[in-house]
Amino acid sequence: MFRSLSLRSASLVALLAAPQAFAQPAPSPFYLGADLSFTNEMEACGAVFRAGGKPVDPFVLLKQKGGNLVRVRLWNDPQWTRYSNYDDVLKTIRRAHAAGLQVLLDFHYSDDWADGDKQIAPAAWAKLDLDAQVAALHNFTRDTLLKLAAAGQMPELVQVGNETNNELLGGVKGQAIDWKRNARLLNAGIAAVREAGKTTHSRPRVMLHIAQPENVIPWFDDATVAGVMDYDIIGISYYSKWSKLNLSGLGKVIDAAHRRYGADVMVVETAYPFTLESADQSTNLLGQDSLIPGYPATPAGQRKYLEDLSQTVLDSGGDGVVYWAPDWVSTRCKTRWGAGSNWENAAWFDLKDFEALPALDFLGKIYRKTR
């Protein structure tokens, strides 16, 4: 089940075998949720989400259907957009908490998208030396959380980085990670979350997040050796288009990671198309090449995918499923990639009327199984 450690030293084997070395998180709920980072923008662009033909607040709908968590991304200083900055994130968190949902705040540590292909340093930090970058990342994390807490909106979970397969603040796919540097940056972010929690008498849980399950064990083994161990949750992005593993393989990684590192494990990003049609001229990211046999690109196929994925996570000892961008529908607004959306065929709302799709019902079905 586990990747061979024959090439590693005896000290590494001892380190990985020592359960006291890892954070032992308190019992947690099975998280069921969605990344609703686009909702404010889509509504400003004219989208009216509906359920049963009537306008609905996506946050309230998520709660009503059985969800308990909203994920929201935060960029440092995104001059190219008015969204996913502090003010927009505060609005999203307020909406989530008002609906009775917990919040997972996702620090990208970038002015733009950070993902499994690249980690772009914020412009203000790019030319700093390592000591200054470590301090900047720490202070930005701590100060953001303290500011949210002062507004009464402390998130319950915090991601220190988004899809950090590559080195924080500048790493790109295919480039070797300098783990001495990377560990300092990751540990600075983790320490900031702990400090903010202590100051505010709260205990936000820390997540580290890797894209695609086949990358999880190698990355976390290296992180462990480098001394990155004070986290509570391992977050995994799983998209069949970009992964080498099927659902069964995903389940094996979840089980292995949970046993190996003593942390909770979640699928914190996933999605599946309900159609191969488009509502605009922007090319959809999830097309024919994203389909899995047995799961057609239909509303029923999308729901079945989510039910089976969630059951796999449950059966493997995992701790939650978060759907990515179910709110990124096609509107009159434009992005850098064209008019409308690159994701409307994988949203939770139909192309024409933004009517809620059957996929949302997986939340209640899985929620009942976890009670």
- Give the active site residues: 163, 269
Do 297 and 353 contact (CB within 8 A), yes or no? no
Angle CA(312)–CA(315)–CA(320) in degrees, nearest 5?
Answer: 70
Do 327 and 49 contact (CB within 8 A), yes or no? yes
How far apart CA 86 and CA 69 sit, in angstroms, is 19
The token pair at 287 is 């097309």
CA 276 to centroid of chain Cα atoms: 24
Q: What is residue 139's three-state secondary structure?
A: helix
Question: Which position has the token pair 């009775």?
Answer: 100
Angular region, 182: left φ>0, alpha ψ -120 to 50, beta rest? alpha
| Residues contacting residue 293 through CB under 8 Å, at least 6 positions apart | none
Angle CA(40)–CA(117)–CA(190) in degrees, nearest 5?
Answer: 70
Do 239 and 193 contact (CB within 8 A), yes or no? no
Directed axis angle between helix 247-261 and helix 299-315, to 10°? 30
Length of the chain (residues): 371
367 phi and psi angles, rounded to 5 deg? -55, -45
How far apart CA 182 and CA 187 sit, in angstroms, is 8
How far apart CA 119 and CA 195 sit, in angstroms, is 25
How far apart CA 268 and CA 266 sit, in angstroms, is 6
103 phi and psi angles, rounded to 5 deg? -130, 135
Q: What is residue 267's three-state secondary structure?
A: strand
How far apart CA 266 and CA 251 sit, in angstroms, is 11
Using alpha carbons, list the distances in angstroms from residue 344 to 279, 310, 318.
7, 22, 28
